[in-house]
Amino acid sequence: MYAPAHFTETDAAEIDRLWTAHPLAVLVAMTEDGLLANHIPLLRDGADFLGHVALANDMHRRIGADTPVVAIFNAIDGYVSPNWYPSKAETHKAVPTWNYQVVHVHGCLTFSYRDGDKRRCVNALTHHFERLTNGDTGWRMGDAPADFLQTMLDGIVAFRLRVTRIEAKSKLSQNRTAADFQGVVRHLDAQGSTVLAQAMLRGHKT
Amino acid sequence: MYAPAHFTETDAAEIDRLWTAHPLAVLVAMTEDGLLANHIPLLRDGADFLGHVALANDMHRRIGADTPVVAIFNAIDGYVSPNWYPSKAETHKAVPTWNYQVVHVHGCLTFSYRDGDKRRCVNALTHHFERLTNGDTGWRMGDAPADFLQTMLDGIVAFRLRVTRIEAKSKLSQNRTAADFQGVVRHLDAQGSTVLAQAMLRGHKT
């Protein structure tokens, strides 16, 4: 990914926040038959990520142990008009751009067809997302009838993404003056793009 | 992309709506040196897409005329809890899932270093996004001093994405009963995920 130094995100806590808040990654693989892309929620597990796909999704047959993959987490983005820079009214030296935050996780996948691995994977993802969504009243695997759950598990493949490289970019007007930066924040807020405005204010002004 | 028939988006108007509403594509290329991914706003131009990148972004050197690329437009997504299905309380036969809409545009890139092509590209993108953002008071290329604009244009490369294949997926609980579908819409609305709830209601219940 093209990322000049001033847009490279190096804050580990911010990177962790980005993939946690935007867990639906697009997983792209470079296979012998071409590019293969699928959208899969991923959960950090130590230095790896966990996920699972339908057995009917042929990615587990097309992606080998050495196939390069990249999991792309798209956080937030928005257009930035030159009209929003106070300096524009004085110098007119401004052009449109786009602000965004993304994380690219490069690595390889290890698929598992073992029942134990699949149960651990599904349980970890379920526990994480149900706690976020429903707190203490979250759904648990044990809520489903055992034979139904087994049929569901038989229809999936679990995988582990072993990470070789992480690239993150926070393109958030850090290259502008403080006045122009605040102008962008103000206009984004005014048009309802508050999440992007908050990302800009979250300590990413150099 | 894995897309069972009931999740395959075939409505051309909806596909057009998705890449128009979410123009920041992640453009992934399968190069000799591995996967290369960059985030770039794209604008439909006839059957192609237009975009431009910084001259300092080496993707224009690493992507040849025959290099396969895919532009992935991520629209909207969200977790779906089994607790949201009325049927869950009766049968308990439900598991978590994720709803989302995405478009994958496969093709090849043609880069242009010609000043005229770059001006046309920038003008088309600027006109489109400024009109959306600022209406009649939108910024125009002519607002900037000519020498400044020339320096900016000298620092970019324009490209055209020639489309070979489009895949779109609307995974929006179409495989659930009407009662479960409405339960998901209701809970998404209640938690503030109104855009995803609206996407579900926008005529995509089979």
> What is the token pair recorded at B15?
């596909």
Residues of A with CB below 8 A from B72's CB?
Answer: 26, 28, 37, 72
The secondary structure of A112-144 as a DSSP string is E--HHHHHHHHHHHHHHHHHHHHGGG---GGGS
How near does any CA of chain A get to the CA of B127, in Å? 10
Q: B157 phi and psi, to 5 degrees?
A: -130, 130
CB atoms within 10 A of CB B42: 21
Residue B15's CB: how many other CB atoms inside 10 A? 19
Q: Where are the alpha helices (DSSP H) in chain A?
A: 12-21, 59-62, 86-91, 115-134, 146-154, 178-190, 194-201
Confidence at residue A205, expressed as pLDDT on a 0 to 100 scale? 47
Q: For A7-59, write each residue's pLDDT tens digit.
A: 999 999 999 999 999 999 999 999 988 999 999 999 999 999 999 999 999 99
Report d(CA B170, CA B204) in Å as an integer: 8
> What was the ipTM of the complex prediction?
0.95
Residue A83, token pair as written in the block: 């009209």
Of A74, A60, A69, which is closest to residue A28 (Cα–Cα)? A69
- Give per-residue pLDDT as tens, B143-169: 999 999 999 999 999 999 999 999 999
User: Mean pLDDT lowest for which of A168-172, A192-196, B89-93?
Assistant: B89-93
Task: Say if residues B99 and B173 touch (Cβ distance below 8 Å).
Answer: yes
User: Which domains, and CATH codes, for chain A?
Assistant: 5-113+159-199 (2.30.110.10)
Residues in Cβ contact with B6 at an 8 Å cutoff, skipping those fewer than 6 apart = B174, B175, B206
Cβ atoms within 10 Å of B189's Cβ, excluding its own: 15
Which of A53, A95, A134 is facing B152, going by the closest CB pair?
A95
CB of A38 within 8 A of CB of B2?
yes
**pLDDT at position B186, please?**
97
Q: Are B101 and B170 in contact (CB under 8 A)?
A: yes
Among chain B residues, CA nearest to A170: B39
Q: Are B201 and B109 in contact (CB under 8 A)?
A: no
Would you tell me the crossing angle of helices A115-134 and A146-154 to the nearest 10 degrees?
Answer: 110
In this structure, are residues B35 and A68 in contact, taking their beta carbons and an 8 Å threshold? yes
Residues in chain B with pLDDT values less than 50: 205-206
Nearest CA in chain B to A102: B39
Q: How many angstroms away from the CA of B93 is the closest CA of chain A?
A: 6
DSSP classification of residue A193: -
Q: How many CB atoms lie within 10 A of CB A142?
A: 9
The pairing of strands A43-45 and A34-41 is unpaired
Name the pTM for this structure.
Answer: 0.96
